[in-house]
Structure 1
Amino acid sequence: MNALREMLSDSRTARSAPRVRLAGPTAALAAPGGGEVQMRSLADALATQGIDARPWRPWEEGFDGFDCLHLFGSLPEHLPTVLAAKQRGLAVVLSPIVWFDMVSRWRERASLLTRVRGAAGMLARRSVPRLPDWRRRLYLAVDRLLPNSMAEAAQIERHVGIDCQRQTVVPNAADPNFAEADAQLFEREYGLRDFILYVGRIEP
């Protein structure tokens, strides 16, 4: 959040109350996942800091009326949006939400040919991180990448050749609603104590 404030204060479009629009994949809100929860929660948190932040509705406002576009996810569809926003003089940041893992790629529920291509592409990128493709062009086009962790930032540098100096780690926060959770509900139901309850989706 501080990195975003600094960027906007340096921008010629910055104002006393920065205006931020947030957006993810085009169809994401039809089946929201972690990225969409992150986007909505960040918009709410920015609002508490006096920042005009809300989901971007391009069909209504285009690129007018705000200073910074915050995109979520590493998707080819983001690249033309980033380029258009930059032409309009907007600051653009990206939460990449990416992880490069050969084992998970190989275990995907896909055809053998698709998995071989995916594995080969990952090996090529690991060998030649600056290999030009849509992902590298996207990462270079934005003003700053906002990975969730140092590990994610290191992977982006290792696999895509984007220096960590172009990245600012913004860890996922915890919802304060869960800070005072009552463990007895789970203990009574399942008879377990001293547990860590993970409520979410674990996937390759």
Structure 2
Amino acid sequence: MDKEMRILYGAQPAVAIKKGGLYIQLLKTKEHMEKCGFHIDLNDPWKDPAPEDYNLFHLFGANFSTNILGTLMKDKDIPLVVTPVFFSKHSAGMLRMVNRSNSLLFKAFKISTPHIYTKELLDRADKILPNTPRESELITHGFGIREEKVSLIHNGVDERFYNATAELFVKTYGKKNFILYVGYIGNHRKNTLSLIKALQGIGVPAVFIGPLVKTPYGELCLKEIAKNKNITLLKPLPHNSPLLESAYAACDTFVLPSLFETPGLSALEAGLAGAKIVITKYGGTRDYFGDEALYVEPNNIQSIKNSIVKSLVKEKTNTLKNHIRKKYLWSFIAKQIEKIYRSFR
């Protein structure tokens, strides 16, 4: 069934509500795989898919919230492909020890930890598609997964960001050459409070675009933003918004000082639009941005501040822009995924 393969996609139950990078990654994979001739369905929790209807099930995320969906699909004898989106600061050796201890705890006392659910999915998967070499190493050496089951597939990015211009954002908001952050405001992993504090005293306008998380941490972010007249807070923009790509092109430096990123879709988009990048050093970001970004220690506010100041005095070049265009456009990434899918014919 060369051009008639049917594939089912799944993720954690709240993926469409939460949105974010994984949501975009799933939908963009679907879009580009359909262009390659595949029939893609999104899993409906109110429907029981028949095994004969699908060549494989592609699960995005390997954790507690996706474990039961992946294992039940595998129980139906539908081949399982997993994009884990996994990160740990532990070394592969330490992770291996943790997994062994977890296994013993569960067998002896039925005590479960998050890694148990990830390992079960990875063990049962027919193919695993990590986003970074670091993630690949953790999967093979930390979880003990055979290397032949693992294929590195980088995150893709839309070429439209390469052609972005600043005019629309400048016309709409009257701002250019600012510091930009795009993402959840008040999400602990995104480390927005540290970013807001790092911006104090820099004296350059900053723009935050994204939804506010209604938590005590989110409220702290709002209080800190109110202290800095240079920060403009804008509501989230749809991913397909011309204003979003224009914001990337209009800014001087894009900052993503998260606790970790794998590798940060918004940073890829901003880099492709020509922005200078300041980003967390954790999660495989260096594998994507190489020497063309500045890397921060997310738990150190001074590290974030210093890197932003250093970035602001650097000249913009097209080196990162062209690097991302050469390696990470969806037109290139889609061909790699297509080859994997077709191996299940």
> How high is the TM-score relative to the length of structure 1?
0.70
Stretches of structure 2 that go unaligned for 5 or more consecutive residues are: 104-115, 179-249, 261-345
Once residues 11 and 70 of structure 2 are traced to their aligned partners in structure 1, the CA distance between those partners, rounded to angstroms, is: 12
Per-residue deviation, residues 75-97 of structure 1 (Å, max 9, x unmatched): 22433333332232211111100
Greater alpha carbon shift after TM alignment, 87-96 vs 76-85: 76-85
1:58 Cα offset (Å): 3.3
Alignment of structure 1 residues 158-197 onto 2, 5 Å: 158-183=141-166, 189-191=175-177, 195-197=252-254
Q: 1:63·1:85 contact (CA, 8 Å) conserved in 2?
A: no
1:150 Cα offset (Å): 1.5
Does residue 32 of structure 1 match 2:19? Answer: yes
Alignment of structure 1 residues 116-135 onto 2, 5 Å: 125-127=95-97, 130=100, 132=103, 133-135=116-118
Once residues 83 and 9 of structure 2 are traced to their aligned partners in structure 1, the CA distance between those partners, rounded to angstroms, is: 10
Once residues 22 and 69 of structure 2 are traced to their aligned partners in structure 1, the CA distance between those partners, rounded to angstroms, is: 18
Q: 1:129·1:161 contact (CA, 8 Å) conserved in 2?
A: no
Once residues 158 and 197 of structure 1 are traced to their aligned partners in structure 2, the CA distance between those partners, rounded to angstroms, is: 34
Once residues 151 and 6 of structure 2 are traced to their aligned partners in structure 1, the CA distance between those partners, rounded to angstroms, is: 20
1:22 Cα offset (Å): 0.9
Q: 2:99·2:143 contact (CA, 8 Å) conserved in 1?
A: yes
Give me the CA root mean square deviation.
3.0
1:154 Cα offset (Å): 0.9
Aligned match of 1:105: none
Greater alpha carbon shift after TM alignment, 55-64 vs 150-159: 55-64
| Larger CA Rg, structure 1 vs 2 | 2
Distance 1:17 1:28, change over 3 A: same
Counterpart code for 2:158: D
Aligned match of 1:138: 121
Does residue 51 of structure 1 match 2:26? Answer: no
Alignment of structure 1 residues 14-29 onto 2, 5 Å: 16-29=3-16
Secondary structure class of the residue paired with 1:35? helix
1:179 Cα offset (Å): 1.9
Greater alpha carbon shift after TM alignment, 35-44 vs 159-168: 159-168
Once residues 77 and 93 of structure 2 are traced to their aligned partners in structure 1, the CA distance between those partners, rounded to angstroms, is: 36
Once residues 69 and 129 of structure 1 are traced to their aligned partners in structure 2, the CA distance between those partners, rounded to angstroms, is: 26
Identify the match of residue 88 of structure 1 among 60, 69, 76.
Answer: 76
Secondary structure class of the residue paired with 1:41? helix
Once residues 257 and 32 of structure 2 are traced to their aligned partners in structure 1, the CA distance between those partners, rounded to angstroms, is: 23
1:151 Cα offset (Å): 1.8
Q: 1:154·1:164 contact (CA, 8 Å) conserved in 2?
A: no
Per-residue deviation, residues 90-125 of structure 1 (Å, max 9, x unmatched): 1111110011025xxxxxxxxxxxxxxxxxxx9853
Does residue 202 of structure 1 match 2:189? Answer: no
- Alignment identity in percent? 20
Counterpart code for 1:20: I
Q: 2:4·2:38 contact (CA, 8 Å) conserved in 1?
A: yes
Identify the match of residue 133 of structure 2 among 150, 153, 172.
Answer: 150
Once residues 63 and 81 of structure 1 are traced to their aligned partners in structure 2, the CA distance between those partners, rounded to angstroms, is: 14
Q: 1:129·1:158 contact (CA, 8 Å) conserved in 2?
A: no
Stretches of structure 1 that go unaligned for 5 or more consecutive residues are: 1-13, 103-121
Does residue 74 of structure 1 match 2:130? Answer: no
Counterpart code for 1:101: K
Counterpart code for 1:50: G
